[in-house]
Amino acid sequence: MRQPRRFSKIVFVLVLAVLALAMPSFGQISLPPGAIGIHTPSAMQPYTSSCPLWRTDNTFQSTIRLTNMLAVANMTASVTLYLADGTPYPLAPTTIPASGVAVINVNQVLVSAPANIASHISTYGSATMSYQWDWQGAVMATLSSLDTTRSLQYVYPFIFPGSSTMSGPMTFQGLWWKPTPASYLFVALSNSTAAPVDASIAILGATGASKGTQQVTVPAHGTSMARVDPPAGLNMGGIQVQYSGGMEDVMVASGIEDDAAGFSAKLPMAMPMMSASSTKTQSFQFASVGIMNGPADTMMGFPNGTTFTPYAYFRNVSSSPIALQPSVNWMNGSSPQNVSLAAVTLQPGQSSQVAFPSFPGGPPMSVNLAYTFSGSVDDIIAATGSVDQTGNYVFAVEPHGVGQHGGVSSVYWAYGGGLDTMYTLWNPLSVAQQMQLILVASSGVTIYAMPIRLAPGASQTVDLFELFSMGAADSAGRVMPRGPMQGSAILTGPKNDTTDRLTIVMAGGIYNSKTATCGETCETCDGFTSASVSPSPPLALR
């Protein structure tokens, strides 16, 4: 999942099994001798992450998923909902088993709010999650706003604050496109400070020229939402949110919506780096894996005739032209295929769509899109995924950085009760890689371990409900239990510790083919790295 901002502190973690913290693609350091062991907490400092938006308007149901990233201790997390006017509503603390998951239903706790809160109830707001431990990232959280009646869904992560103390004029940059004639944009701003914040929301055309601006005042600790209609005759462009204050003062959540068609997708937003390191030019590679393509598999519950078309939009948010080199990878049976697409030069502020090629021998069911560029990590923002011919089935795929890591943690999955989770794993290297996917239930108990070997350039899809339906036992004799089930997952090397280094891109989606809803899973990369800005979701540790 791409975050409203992509800054995170480096935290070094020593925990039994898969440890740590993560940012792929940037230089690693070795594990110190004798480092692996059970950590005994001592500092027990408070840590807080924030989510910019929950919604209960119309028929939205919002749920907060809390994941304990520790394998050695239960954790207690405290969630506070902030209503639109800034009123805080602290919820009862939640205990999460070691490696387990807990879920809070926002609609239910709002209905049962005490009298002093009830008069402030709103249909949207923000949230924070706090806990005490020796490091940041011991508990991770995501928030899903799901409207099954209208086939809409948005999933936003809880973000830990960065270490920057910069203040002054701040700018978020975003990317929009118009998938249906009636689609519109929304932008939600949440204010973490004790004073109102004035902000502007500008919509930009494909060349970066301003096409209109709205002024918004966000209440202290409150949330403001603005509807933004795309300019007539334009089908893509940028969004720019500006305010004055600290980097952590405002968070942004945005999306595209057409409730008549059932189309919904998050808009990618980022605050480009403003540190001295941002002036250094580096080469970066990102990949969006598991983009659905062509006729849908009716065995997965899709209606007959459902056909997916991939999409890919890019925007250059830097002040210099950037050459983007995209390529497409897919599986033809057991053989990986690769095609380099024409390079695209994006001028400063420019947005552009990249077309997918025709596929010889018939369309594959899914494809992987990789792209490289030189600059700073946040110079290019991208929106990738696929949509069917009706605009109702939307499978957004978040780009992830390509680089070596000690494994990947997926903080939430679910299957059963109409839901299913699909993961796609892609090996971008010219050598084969061995790994295992470990599924952990919400109770913290491992329910399945699946060994996987990926040939050079190969990818594989893992469907959790299909694993259950097959009834095959793993090497420990475990069989996937009947759902509904929820939990987290770890992709690790054969030894299941961070000395196993992997270069694997993993992404997933939780979907319901009957209600035509899909939300991205949230993946983070495990293992020690040098200090850097992460192109991936915030912090991960096991």
Are 450 and 437 in contact by the 8 Å Cβ rule? The answer is yes
Q: Are residues 49 and 153 in the same domain?
A: yes
In the listed set 223, 252, 272, which residue is the last one of a domain according to the structure?
272
Count of other CB atoms within 10 angstroms of residue 389 = 11
> What is the distance between the alpha carbons of residues 294 and 297, in angstroms, rounded to a whole number?
9
The C-alpha angle with vertex 405 and arms to 423 and 411, in degrees rounded to 5, equals 40
Question: Which amino acid is it at 131?
Answer: Y
Note whether residue 225 is domain-resident. yes
Q: Are residues 146 and 233 in the same domain?
A: no
pLDDT at 42: 80
CB-facing half-sphere around the CA of 66: CA atoms within 13 A = 29
pLDDT at 498: 66
Q: Would you call 301 exposed, middle or buried from its count of C-beta atoms within 10 A (0-12, 13-18, 19+)?
A: middle
Note whether residue 180 is domain-resident. yes
Q: Are residues 77 and 176 in the same domain?
A: no
Is 60 exceeded by the pLDDT of residue 14? no
Q: Are residues 267 and 184 in the same domain?
A: yes
Q: Are residues 74 and 146 in the same domain?
A: yes
Note whether residue 427 is domain-resident. no
Domain that holds residue 104: 45-157
Note whether residue 65 is domain-resident. yes
Q: Are residues 249 and 189 in the same domain?
A: yes
pLDDT at 333: 92
Note whether residue 136 is domain-resident. yes
- CB contact set of 115 (below 8 Å; sequence gap of 6+): none
Is 50 exceeded by the pLDDT of residue 71? yes
> What is the distance between the alpha carbons of residues 405 and 250, in angstroms, rounded to a whole number?
31
In the listed set 272, 296, 329, which residue is the last one of a domain according to the structure?
272
Q: Are residues 55 and 153 in the same domain?
A: yes
> What is the distance between the alpha carbons of residues 503 and 399, in angstroms, rounded to a whole number?
15
pLDDT at 272: 86
Query: Strands 167-177, 236-246: parallel, antiparallel or unpaired by DSSP?
Result: antiparallel
Q: Are residues 232 and 149 in the same domain?
A: no
Tokens matching residue 190: 């949440």
Sequential DSSP letters for 240-282: EEEEEEETTSEEEEEEEEETTTTEEEEPPEE----SGGGGS-E
Q: Are residues 177 and 122 in the same domain?
A: no
pLDDT at 525: 65
Q: What is the CATH number of the domain that holds 54?
A: 2.60.290.11
Note whether residue 264 is domain-resident. yes
Q: Are residues 171 and 264 in the same domain?
A: yes
pLDDT at 162: 86
Note whether residue 152 is domain-resident. yes
Q: Are residues 202 and 178 in the same domain?
A: yes
> What is the distance between the alpha carbons of residues 291 and 416, in angstroms, rounded to a whole number?
23
Q: Are residues 207 and 141 in the same domain?
A: no
State how many domains the chain has.
2
Are 465 and 471 in contact by the 8 Å Cβ rule? The answer is no
pLDDT at 6: 31
Are 113 and 106 in contact by the 8 Å Cβ rule? The answer is no
pLDDT digits (tens, 9 = 90+) for 430-457: 999 999 999 999 999 999 999 999 999 9
Q: Would you call 7 exposed, middle or buried from its count of C-beta atoms within 10 A (0-12, 13-18, 19+)?
A: buried
Question: Which amino acid is it at 90?
Answer: P
Q: What percent of the chain has a predicted confidence (pLDDT) above 90?
A: 80
Unique residue bearing structure tokens 């209609």? 229
Count of other CB atoms within 10 angstroms of residue 327 = 16
pLDDT at 2: 33
Which of the residue ranges 198-212, 366-380, 496-510 would you say has the lowest mean pLDDT? 496-510
Note whether residue 378 is domain-resident. no
Mean pLDDT, the chain, rounded, equals 88
In the listed set 272, 295, 329, which residue is the last one of a domain according to the structure?
272
pLDDT at 280: 62
pLDDT digits (tens, 9 = 90+) for 166-205: 899 999 999 999 999 999 999 999 999 999 999 999 999 9
